[in-house]
Copies of this chain bind each other. A is one copy, B any other.
Amino acid sequence: MKSYKTIISLMSGTSLDCIDACLINIYDDLKFKVLDSYSLKYPETVKVRLLNLANNIGTVKDVCELNFITGDLFAECVNSLIEKAKINKSDIDFISTHGQTICHLPDKHSTLQIGDISVISYKTGIMTIGDFRPKDMAANGQGAPLVPFADKILFSADKNRLIQNIGGISNVTVLSKDCDIFAFDNGAGNMLIDYFMQKLFNKPYDKNGEIALRGNIDNNWLNEMLKEAYYKVTPPKSTGRELFNKAYAEELYKTAPSDKYDIIATITALTAKTIADSYINFILPKTNIDEVVLGGGGAYNKAIIKFLHNYLPNIPIKTHEDFGIPNKLKECIAFAYLGYFTYNKKPNNVPSCTGAKHHVIMGKISY
């Protein structure tokens, strides 16, 4: 009898670039092995319609229709991965899918992910588990973050570790023997850097941090930007495009230095400094930090890493790869674990991170 489950896990983030699929084994002792992966780019027309929905533009009919269209695309991504990996469908135990978030309203206790699991299960012929967030929110949680559940499995040790993700927003999970697992958003991650790269260099992002490393940090501007109230709020806290958006960036630009390399250097330093300050203000009073594990797109930015070393001179900084985890597939792997627990009828939220009143079995199943 095989002592593992073979899972295809699907993730699609708010950037709407592409759907990531990952073929993965999870064993009884919760170890994992990634066998293969595949990415499907969203068709431009679908991407535009999904972005509109995420901005609350669109009708009930649009929601209805796009729930099925994205379900079709998720299924297509799974089928392409199966073809690429040359495996039999019957060898796959289940699919686990995050879905595409089009609305998240913690204040109104509701959240909406689309990409119907019935469509995925029918078009792949494989049992599908998904739609995790509503159950945590029903239990009075924020429905987020969900990834710390996997962080705990992947990184728990006799050390105090921070799992620092730098995506559009930066967020950290604190795994420590001294306190309950907790997590919060530090502030803008790559979002502001990417905005200024597009504006000043006509590039989508600062590859390897090369532009930032050619500039100098303008400490006056940096200190001005650090006055943002969000950075002073005590966790639990979360943020997003509601705050760190285009209008916010344009407001910052008014007091920016003239040299465009200095602008990128300083805005990159802001990401590193807000992360470092959040450790000093909110984590170090509770627990010492043995090491930081960096993930997300920002883990490839050498300027961010350099600045983090400057601001946190005594803390070792590692990568997901140091632990055998492909950075790019981290979230996919996390949702494989979430599905694995739903499949086994075991709770999979982290109340100390989401604020939920109870441990619950998140997710829905379509045979």
Contacts and interface: CB of A to CB of B under 8 A. Distances in A.
Assembly stoichiometry (copies) = 2
Interface residues of A, number: 47
A135 B122 contact: yes
A61 interface: yes
A71 interface: yes
Interface string A49-89: 00001101111111111011101000000000000000000
Nearest to A62: B60
A58 B68 CA distance: 19
A70 to B, nearest CB: 11
A119 B134 contact: yes
A342 B367 contact: yes
B110 A68 contact: yes
Contacts of A361: 366-367
> Which of the listed residues A53, A71, A362, A364 has the most CB atoms from chain B within 10 Å of its own CB?
A364
Given A342-B367, A364-B364, A131 B118 contact: yes
A48 interface: no
A362 B118 contact: yes
Contacts of A108: 61, 64-65, 68
Contacts of A30: none
B59 A56 contact: yes
A139 interface: yes
Interface in A339-367: 342, 345, 360-367
Interface in A99-121: 102-103, 105, 108-112, 116-119, 121
A137 interface: yes
B117 A364 contact: yes
A67 B365 CA distance: 18
Contacts of A119: 134-135, 138
A61 B102 CA distance: 9
A123 interface: yes
Given A53-B60, A63-B112, A362-B118, A68 B138 contact: yes
A289 B64 CA distance: 39
Interface string A124-136: 0000000100110
A138 B128 CA distance: 14
B112 A134 contact: no
Contacts of A67: 110, 112, 134
Interface in A114-172: 116-119, 121-123, 131, 134-135, 137-139
A311 to B, nearest CB: 38
Contact of A61 (B56, B62, B345, B364): B56
A122 B61 contact: no
Contact of A103 (B60, B123, B138): B60
Contacts of A112: 60, 63-64, 67
25 contacts: A56-B61, A57-B60, A60-B63, A61-B105, A63-B112, A64-B102, A64-B105, A65-B105, A68-B108, A68-B110, A68-B137, A68-B138, A116-B134, A117-B364, A118-B131, A118-B138, A118-B362, A118-B364, A119-B135, A119-B138, A122-B135, A122-B139, A135-B366, A345-B367, A364-B366
